[in-house]
Structure 1
Amino acid sequence: MRLPRLPEPTRRALTFWRRSIQARVVISTVLLSAVVFSVVGWFLLQQTRDGLLENRVDAVVAEANGGTAAARKLLDSAVGTDSDADTQRQQLAATIIQRGETRGFSAVLFGPSEPGSRIVDGGATFTPGLDTSSVPDSLQAHFDQDTSTAWTYTDIETTDPDGTTSEEPGIVVASQVTLPADSETYTLYYLFPLDEQAETLALVTRALLTAAVLLLVLVAGMTWLVTRQVVTPIRLARRVAERLAAGQLQERLKVSGEDDLARLATSFNQMASNLQRQIRQLEELSRVQRRFVSDVSHELRTPLTTVRMASDVLHDARADFDPVTARAAELLQTELDRFETLLADLLEISRFDAGAAVLEVDNLDLGAVARRVVDATAPLAQQRGVRVVVRAPEEPCLAEADVRRVERIVRNLVTNAIDHAAVDGEDAGIVVQVAGDDHAAAIAVRDHGVGLAPGESSMVFNRFWRADPARARTSGGTGLGLSIALEDTHLHGGWLQAWGRPGEGAQFRLTLPRRAGSVLRHSPLPLVPTDVAEPVS
């Protein structure tokens, strides 16, 4: 299944991330710093919150105990003077509620309190606007078995005179008193809001967030500056290395200071100087070698022409010689033919080395080229007892190429296949296959001879290389044919590849672009023959 194409901004961001080490270092440092700041900030907020709540709990418990003590004192002073329980209860509730209004808390007086009784059952007097559901059931249930003062957190719900309902966190403190008039136990609930603590915590949170953002910006800036000091020399070294690779061997890095980067730049410059010196030496040696080959090849033509003329005279008069002399004249003629071919190949190689080879591009039918080459090499194939078959499509397989050079490539491949083809059995044959598509055209030459050992498919194009030095060349080759064929192929911008396996023969594939100057991306023919079984692993 093909994945959907990413949007252009995303692809640019990913490319920038892959190519910029400075961006990766800065972003990674900022992200790690953000994680650290988050953990530290959360810890500080927790500590601040716990400290604020602990202080507030101590304060509200002390305030509640003070209110309960004042209530008990008020009740003690009323003993004997007022025996009406309702009056005492109302006076106690009014006193507690008024105290709460002046000191910023709400109050609830509930009673008589009995095990299992709750405020919802009735009998509660409370601060106006307070929702008695703000007192948790868990705190009310505390007095079913215990009479000690208790507290808990809650959400205090209140209703304003205009009907607006609000809710805020708070603390509920509960304690019990005994009413003298009826000797019943009543429970006092003090509800203290935590709005000041919430404001303080919000202020601390904003301060920590502001500080974290500023610290992240500072960390990003410092990381950018630090990495810039390291990345900038690396980028300069990359640019200089690219210019060196482009042939500007005089380029050097600027050395400043004595730190590690300065020593690296010094070592880089020394390496560049050594490479420049060695490359120039190699260029000079290559130039001398090419000049030597070219000069020797040209100088040999004059004496070779003289020897050729004398050899022709002797060869034409061999019928008048004794058998030994006649045989010597024939051998001389044969070796002179091979020597002339070798000399021509050396001159061609020298032109490739000197960069003087040029193409004469024309529309070329590879199928017609294959047939002409097979017809030209038919006597050699008959001599070897090898059958050569051409498999080409009926329609022309056209490509923009140099006819002379392509014919030379195919002729080298076919004669090389005849030299190494099997001469007995059903496999005594060579198949020349032609195919093409909209972008490329190809010729594959398949033989069923000795094949190639592992690693020899890349060495077979080396100059004067032979798979079997003891094997005779039926076609009288010079050892430079495949090397010249490879150079001709590269001149076209094509591919010349070899496949072989011992005992299963070999296949050479020539692939050319349909249009001169185009870039090859595939070949219409497989490199590995279809009649070859894959090895079992």
Structure 2
Amino acid sequence: MRAPTWLPMPVRRALRVVRRYWRVLARHLERYTAPARRAWRRSLQLRVVALTLVASSLLVGTFGAFIANSSTDILLSRAEDEARTAMNGKVDYALKQLTLYPQARDPELPNALNDLADELFDGKSGSPGSSIVSIRAENYPDLQAVTVPPTVDTSDLITRDMIEKVSAGSGKQARQIRTAEIYGQVTKYLVYGSPVPTRFGHVELYYMVPLTTEDQDANLIRTIVLATGLALVILLGVVAGLVTRLVVTPVRVAARTAQRLSAGLLDQRMKVDGEDDLALLAAAFNQMAANLQRQIVRLEEMSRLQRRFTSDVSHELRTPLTTVRMAADLIFSEREDFDPAVARSAELLQAELDRFEELLTDLLEISRFDAGFAALDAEHTDLVPIVERVAERLTGLAERAGVELELRLPDTPVIAEVDPRRVERVLRNLVGNAVEHGEAKPVRITMATDDAAVAVTVRDHGIGLKPGEERLVFNRFWRADPSRARQTGGTGLGLSISVEDARLHGGWLEAWGSPGEGAQFRLTLPVRAGDRLVAAPLPLIPRDRTAELSSSPRDRTAEVG
């Protein structure tokens, strides 16, 4: 995001620097936090324990704070009750003593105030934990304020606001909590102030009680609550980890067993311990694995028998086919001497024998792929002559169908490590299908290459493919429109064999189609045998349809390989 242009240039430069350093910091954070995020995503036990710790910490923290605050309030309330009771007693005693002096000018009054303060003081002089008594008569300059112990400075404890509340004449006591440094030690005090109505005027009595014991008790309670809460959270985390492990461990064992089963180790089973739900899960998993093993073995046996049957039938039919072929060739060569009807029958016999022989060849090829016996005879080959040869051999078919073949090939040789026989067969199938379904419109064959791959596309403008047919088109014996008369007399196995040929090369065979707008097939092969394909030099969707793709929900693509 660029900085707004209306900002001054120094500000924009500073923002660019900040943004650059922020990107660097984000990359470092991404790198260092990647293991933790990966562990969080992969470990159910870690997530359960972490969530348990967070939830228990919030719960225990809230409850502990409530207990600590309640305990502190109780301690403070008890201290206030005791201080209030003591303050009322001191006020009553001071009132009795000061009633003996009718006027402020009495020369004995200052000494009486000092004696009264000493009598009201109930602590040990010089002790940090002792209470403090102060008597003030600020409206009478002749009388000094008396504080016991006399060495204590009460200016931080008795504030001006409190003095104003006590001397307001309402006769009510004032209370506050203050912290001050007394005897070199910071101490919290509960300060009470009360007026003492005398016959000679207004006198104020202040009683300051240290809350050291209460603070110590409150700190001890908070420490106990914190330690107990921490121990409880840790205990809950350990319990959650153990409980989660009891559940997760069988799941992990089941996952590893499933991975071994998917890798082909069909004899793998879970250990069944006990009779609980986890044991029931293990037993059900083992039963499922046993059923799958039986089904897979049965299907493999059926597949093996099917492949063997197809191969045996194909081979066994070769001998009678050879005999019938020899007789058919003899009849076909003498057809001009026969009646027109017999001659036509000889031509049909020859055509069907050709198709039958092609079907046997395809069946043998499919059986070799199914059995895993197909081998790639790769060699460095120029693919341009192969495409030209395929187009030349299908020119007659294209002329009969009224289709024009357009070649767009590179001017320089395109060398790739491929099996030329298989590549030619794939291209022959693709071009033959395009001619058959081209609806008498041009078929364009395009080739392109880069450093890693070679791609050949075959584009027709015929009936196209309906949604979902772009994958079905590669199935064996599948036809888009069974009612259409075939011009090429194919076996229905061409595209299936082409897919296997592409896979054998490590390549792709893909299809795109749209109803009424034609189809395009793309064959992509690696330049070097064994290399892994990443991209194709040619697009799968034709260039004349790329601009319309976003507005046409009917377009479909499929990749096989």
Q: Is TM-score (shorter-chain normalized) higher than 0.5?
A: yes
The AA in structure 1 aligned to 2:460 is D
Which consecutive unaligned segments of at least 5 residues does structure 1 have? none
1:280 and 2:293 matched: no
Pair 437,72 (structure 1): closer, same or farther in 2 beyond 3 Å: farther
Match of 1:293 in 2: 310
Contact 2:269/2:289 (CA < 8 Å) preserved in 1? yes
The alpha-carbon distance between structure 1 residues 334 and 56, as it changes in their structure 2 partners (threshold 3 A), is: same
What TM-score comes out, normalization by structure 2 length?
A: 0.86
Whether 1:177 and 2:170 are equivalent positions in the alignment is no
Tell me the secondary structure at the aligned position of residue 153 of structure 2. Answer: coil
What amino acid does structure 1 have at the position aligned with 2:118?
Answer: T
Aligned residues of 1:113 and 1:187 also touching (Cα < 8 A): no
Provide the rounded CA distance (Å) in 2 between the counterparts of 1:222 and 1:138: 56
Residues 405 and 80 of structure 1: CA distance in aligned 2, closer, same or farther (over 3 Å): closer
Is 1:527 the equivalent of 2:544? no
Would you say the 8 A contact 2:507–2:523 is kept in 1?
A: yes
Name the structure 2 match of 1:328: 345
Q: Secondary structure at the match of 1:517?
A: coil
CA contact (8 A) 2:110 2:144 kept: no
Change (3 A) 1:338 1:159: same
CA drift of 1:515 comes to 3.2
1:322, distance to aligned residue in structure 2 (A): 2.4
Let me know the Cα RMSD of the aligned residues.
Answer: 2.7
Residue 496 of structure 1 pairs with residue 509 of structure 2:
yes
1:425-445 deviations in whole A, cap 9, x for unaligned?
xxx111122233344332221
Residue 41 (structure 1) shift: 0.2
Aligned to 2:11: none
Report the equivalent of 2:55: 32
The correspondence of residues 126-525 of structure 1 with structure 2, limited to 5 A, is: 126=147, 127-143=150-166, 145-158=168-181, 160=183, 167-179=186-198, 183-423=200-440, 428-525=441-538
SS at match of 1:249: coil
2:178 and 2:191 in contact (8 A); partners too: no
Q: Residue type of the partner of 2:61?
A: S
Alpha carbons 1:432, 1:445 under 8 Å: kept: yes
Deviates more, 1:99-108 or 1:491-500: 99-108
> What is the Cα deviation at residue 386 of structure 1?
1.2
Q: 2:76 pairs with 53, 56, 69, which one?
A: 53
- Matches of 1:76 and 1:34, distance apart in 2: 61
TM-score, length-scaled by structure 1: 0.89
Give the Cα separation in 2 of the matches to 1:372 and 1:86. Answer: 135
What is the CA deviation profile of residues 498-519 of structure 1, one whole-angstrom value per residue up to 9, with x for unaligned ones?
Answer: 1111110011112223333333
CA drift of 1:128 comes to 3.0
Post-superposition offset of 1:113: 4.8
Write the letter of the residue equivalent to 1:154. I
Using the alignment, how far apart are the partners of 1:203 and 1:398 within structure 2? 86
8 Å contact from structure 2 (residues 505, 529) kept in 1: yes
Name the amino acid aligned to 2:524.
Answer: T
Structure 1 residues 81 and 309, CA gap change in structure 2 (3 angstroms): closer
Query: Which digits, 9 at most, give the CA deviation of each residue in 1:477-507, with x for residues without a partner?
Result: 1110000001111222222121111110011
Alignment-derived partner of residue 87 in structure 1: 110
Percent identity between matched residues is 45
CA deviations 1:110-134 (Å, max 9, x no partner) are: 32459xxxx9xx9754453424143
For the 8 Å contact 2:445–2:459, the answer to whether it is kept is: yes
Q: How many residues align?
A: 521
| CA displacement, residues 44-75 of structure 1 (integer Å, 9 cap, x when unaligned) | 01110110110011111122223323323332
Q: Which moved more, 1:88-97 or 1:327-336?
A: 88-97
Amino acid in the other structure paired with 2:176? Y
Distance in 1 (alpha carbons) for counterparts of 2:251 and 2:293: 21
